Structure 1
Amino acid sequence: MILAESPRRQRVTKLVSWGHWFAFVNIFLALVIASVFIFSSPSPNSAIGTLYLLSNWFGHIGFLTFAGFVIFILPLCYLATNAKVIKAAASVIAAIGLALLAFDALLYNRTGFHINFSSTDLLRSEAQTQISQFGIQQWGYLLLLFVIWLGFQLLLANAIWKRMDRFQQRKIGMLVTVFFIVCFVSSHAVHVWADAALYQPIIKQDNMFPLSYPATAKTTMSRYGLLDLETYEERKQLQFAPDIHQIVYPTEPVYCAIDIANTMYLIVQTDNGNGLELDSLNLNKTNNYFTNASSLDALIMSTLFGVPEIYFETLTQERPVLMELPEALGMPVAIHIDESLPTSMLNDYRQAMENTGAGLHIAFLPASKINAFLEDEKVDFEKNGLIIATGFATGAGAQRGTLLTNLDVKADAISTEDLAPTILNSLGCNAPSHYYSTGQDFTNPQRNWLVSTSGERVVVIHENQRIEVLSNGSYEITNIDNGNRSNAPLNVDLLSRAIKQLTRFSQPH
């Protein structure tokens, strides 16, 4: 006796089969969208790193998409009785899911972090300005774009449903499943090895994809006694090195025009002494200026190059864009370094104190000589640009000083690395500052945080907090106003983005 399947069972079987094909097609759409993460990240520069990247790309994105199908769509195939309702609901879910993935990819491309609960505050603060500029037309375009994307999903769902008989004859489901499982498992297995060996071309990919939590040697191999945790931790502590051996500076050729008739003065105080009499100059004053250099030479380098002292050793044979570009365009550049200062940095560029005239003047002076320098130079504050940065204390680490200028300060916080891009932009250079600096123009800031280094510490300043991270991974959060330690949780996404900004000139070994 042959028992035929009930109509409901037949319908459920067809819906489940349809759901698998619908998920299969959307996996490839998700892979295309997720390629943005790959193009937004540095190349692994090794064969193993590239193979891991490909397997992680296919395995992780395939897993995320199929997991979404299992959680949100598959239960509907068993609960609902109307195929049209199932297809419509699945199309809405797929459209929203892939739209979120696309938004996350664009966010990662611009900022280096993903959408999650710890990044919501930072995302809101940085997107507020752009969103406030949206009018009805812009919101209408976004809504229309989503409607078009939803319409595409509906067409896709119906097209697959009409061709189910043809698709069911194709026996590729097992091969596709095996392929994605192999990619998923092998990527985690390779990451365990890379984590144990601290292989950077793979370890640096940990934050590339959203919701990525690769298996580590610490949690996997140590369970079976295959990893010496003490040795592992010691080696891991050495991964942050204060010297970088391979860099590209600048990352792109800097092409721009400047007004060589302008005159700009940058004066950097080289001690923490008092005695400045500048109140009569009516300069804009901000107390949120931070200098993080741990030595005088590092202060000079950070000022001229616009990068933190982590690049100090590598840049000793390079010329800063702040000097090279104006000189190449015919603007005189004079470096004034007080003879009494204990530094040999840029001896070739040291100028006599009486060197005056139009052009770019950069002076490194103790507090006691700044007033005399201004008088000798006969600076016309109404015609010439002027920046005076104070607060440096040798060996003291991150210091809060004062910045005085006749420029229009708009940044919430300013660092030494911001001086070079601000000066070049003020002289008329419109080339992107990230080509040659980790800082930004403080008259036109693009972010509300800053990152630098002090010795072997990574320093991030954001919303009245100073986050200092040591090479062993420990961190300390301090309230800038009162100097007290804060118990606030570490914003991992902000730190990840800051590290990406900090190491933009470094190249993997």
Structure 2
Amino acid sequence: MVERKKQMTRDKVSRLVNWGHWFAFFNGFLAMIVGARYLSSVGYPETFIGWGYLAVSTIGHFSFLAFIVYVVFLFPVTLLLPYSKILRGYAALVASLGLCILLYDTIVYDDYGIHLSPFAFDLAWTDLNALLKSTSYIVTPISIILIELTAANFIWKRIEKLEKKQLGNKAIAFVGICFISSHLVHIWADASDVTQITRFDDTYPLSYPATARSFMESHGIEGTNIEDNRYQTKSRKLSYPVKPLQCKTPLIQEQQSNVLIVSVDGLRADMVNEQTMPFLTQYQTDNKQFIDHFSGGNQFKTGIFSILYGLQGNYGDRKEFYHTAPVMTQTLAKAGYQQAIFLPQDNANPFIGRAIFDELTPFINHSDEGSAKTDSKNVAQFINWQASQQSHWFSIVNLTAPKHYDTPIGFLGIETVKPHIMLKPAEKVLYNQYRQSLYFIDQQLNQLIDSVDKDTVVMITGTHGQVFSSNPSEVNQNLSPGNVKVPFVMHWPKAAADTVTYRTSHYGIVPTIMSQILHCNNPSTDYSSGYSLLQPSEQSWVYIGDSRTFAIYQDAEITVLDRHGKYQIYDINYDKRLKRKLSAPELIQVMREGRRLYNQ
């Protein structure tokens, strides 16, 4: 009798376990439906291989999440309380809560580009009214609970039929194959730089696809190192500019100023002095210098984007801007300006097929002797180009020698000095080699300025700063002041020399040219994230970086964040990490600015 009761209990528990497996499988399917909202945020694949990977990844990932929820929350209760009515109600409640959290995460990810975390939850809670725009946040949870209760009872009544068909093992095998194959495909894609697959790495919550780049390379399997320019993000209606531009072109052509922007990769603000860069130091003194100026990023890609578009770097990751030329260069073209950009091949390659240089004639140079020789070619080519222009012109000259610590063969530099900052022995060598490169660039700047007349508007700045490291990964991830704070000097015809002490950034270049040279009456918010350099910014922060990793510079602290919601707060010198929570109001302003130009 006792044995029979034990057997009945075991049979009951076994039936409940089988029911739990099918209920988890059903919820994995529901999670896939909810998870489709993530794809509307990042964009859909454009190739068969992209769709194939996404299919197996979605099935494997969400089924795995559903199974984890079952193991953690349902299986123990099945053993402790093997009563079907209690278990079905409890399971429906747990599943409903899980799907609601997943649904809320899709909303947060769509608006902020990050998944739920304690930080993201605080942010979303503060901005709750903007996220929940209708009564669906009441109706949806109720609908989910009703679906879960119906499904729990439906599966329970048919569990014996499902067992007889022996579909369980087949379903488990199918999900297992999808899960494993998605990771194997990602290992290959990561090693081969197949961005049509790897771009989905951060799309799903708790997704950590396997990578084996170093393992595969150590076994002689090399990646293709080809960048896929078809990176897709959410396709929304872009309002850029927000309103039609109202610009007045002077009737007399002579009233239109030529404009030259010189952007030097790796030009630190604290390295411009009489010993290292005597020409630029004197040029700053004789013109309008901005002593608290920031780039829009720590790499050429984000730095040049902020110069030409005047927008935060996260816009540069949006597919709409792959096919949208800067408003500034479009307006310059309408005003009859001849436009050109002079840059090295390495900096031009990432923008092939994109619209950022559409209105500019690109002059691309390369030299096997190094970036310093390339810079000399670009300077000489610009001098010849501008001398041949018969009408007003706009040009950008990009110099890169300091970024690579390069000088021409046989160049006679300056004596080494003790670094003004704390550096390791190897970094001290880079520091002084960097100074040699700056001394060379200073001479190139002298040639550039001598070649243009005094009525030309000239802006000299750094595309980004420089940190003294030979590790490219470390340099690209560093958002310290040394890597983003750059000098900025502006020669404005007939304007007196002046020192600007309020904080400025590359976002102010476009509004300055649009308002002062192209005479556009629109507020700068119609086409830019910044304000004219000739007036203090209304914002208490500066956004620096792209959509994956960025920093928010405020008056007394620097906050570095990634799209997973992890953040660190430093003092304004980036020396000490502060133990404090992030201020949500400022971050909400940042996030809203990053989606302001889109119609939802």
Range class of TM-score, shorter chain: 0.5 to 0.7
Give the match for residue 462 of structure 1: 552
Alpha-carbon distance in 1 for matches of 2:304, 2:164? 71
RMSD across aligned positions (CA)? 5.9
Give the match for residue 121 of structure 1: 119
Alpha-carbon distance in 1 for matches of 2:63, 2:231? 35
Give the match for residue 83 of structure 2: 82
Percent of residue pairs bearing the same amino acid type: 22
Alpha-carbon distance in 1 for matches of 2:164, 2:511? 63
- On the 8 A contact 2:192/2:225 being kept in 1, the answer is no
Q: SS where residue 206 of structure 1 aligns?
A: coil
Alpha-carbon distance in 2 for matches of 1:151, 1:468? 39
Q: SS where residue 392 of structure 1 aligns?
A: strand
Give the match for residue 213 of structure 1: 208
- Give the residue type in structure 1 aligned to 2:207: S
C-alpha distance after superposition, 1:186-220 (max 9, x if no partner) = 1222223333444433333322222222233268x
Matches within 5 A, 1:223-242: 227-229=216-218
- What TM-score, normalized to structure 1? 0.59
Alpha-carbon distance in 2 for matches of 1:298, 1:24? 43
Alpha-carbon distance in 2 for matches of 1:184, 1:268? 54
C-alpha distance after superposition, 1:328-382 (max 9, x if no partner) = 6xxx476999xxx9583995998978x9xxxxx9999x9xxxxxxxxx99xxxxx
C-alpha distance after superposition, 1:431-468 (max 9, x if no partner) = 8x6xxxxx735689899733169xxxx98322543869
Alpha-carbon distance in 1 for matches of 2:390, 2:505? 25
Matches within 5 A, 1:253-264: 257-258=243-244, 260=246
Give the match for residue 202 of structure 1: 197
How much has 1:429 moved relative to structure 2?
Answer: 9.2
Alpha-carbon distance in 2 for matches of 1:31, 1:291? 37
How much has 1:415 moved relative to structure 2?
Answer: 4.1
Give the match for residue 575 of structure 2: 484
Alpha-carbon distance in 1 for matches of 2:544, 2:302? 18
Matches within 5 A, 1:250-399: 257-258=243-244, 260=246, 273-274=284-285, 287=292, 289-290=294-295, 302-306=306-310, 320-324=326-330, 332=335, 344=382, 392-393=461-462, 396-397=465-466, 398-399=484-485
Q: SS where residue 205 of structure 2 aligns?
A: coil
Give the match for residue 365 of structure 2: none
Alpha-carbon distance in 2 for matches of 1:53, 1:326? 43
Q: SS where residue 462 of structure 1 aligns?
A: strand
Alpha-carbon distance in 1 for matches of 2:207, 2:246? 51
Q: What is the aligned length?
A: 409
Alpha-carbon distance in 2 for matches of 1:14, 1:142? 35
How much has 1:139 moved relative to structure 2?
Answer: 9.9
Alpha-carbon distance in 2 for matches of 1:430, 1:97? 40
**Please, which of 149, 168, 172 is the counterpart of residue 167 of structure 2?**
172
C-alpha distance after superposition, 1:27-84 (max 9, x if no partner) = 1101111122333334454433432221111111111111211221122122114322
The answer as to 2:522 corresponding to 1:427 is yes
Q: Which runs of 5+ in 2 are unaligned?
A: 251-255, 263-279, 341-377, 398-444, 446-454, 467-483, 491-501, 532-536, 563-567, 595-600
- Give the residue type in structure 2 aligned to 1:449: Y
- Give the residue type in structure 2 aligned to 1:484: D
The answer as to 2:246 corresponding to 1:155 is no
Q: Compared with structure 1, are the counterparts of its residues 277 and 165 closer, same or farther at alpha carbon in structure 2 (3 Å cutoff)?
A: closer
How much has 1:92 moved relative to structure 2?
Answer: 1.3
Matches within 5 A, 1:95-134: 95-116=96-117, 120-121=118-119, 124-125=122-123, 127=124, 130-131=127-128
- What TM-score, normalized to structure 2? 0.51
**Please, which of 497, 506, 511 is the counterpart of residue 416 of structure 1?**
506
Alpha-carbon distance in 1 for matches of 2:197, 2:308? 34
Give the match for residue 408 of structure 1: none
Alpha-carbon distance in 1 for matches of 2:220, 2:578? 30
Give the match for residue 543 of structure 2: 449
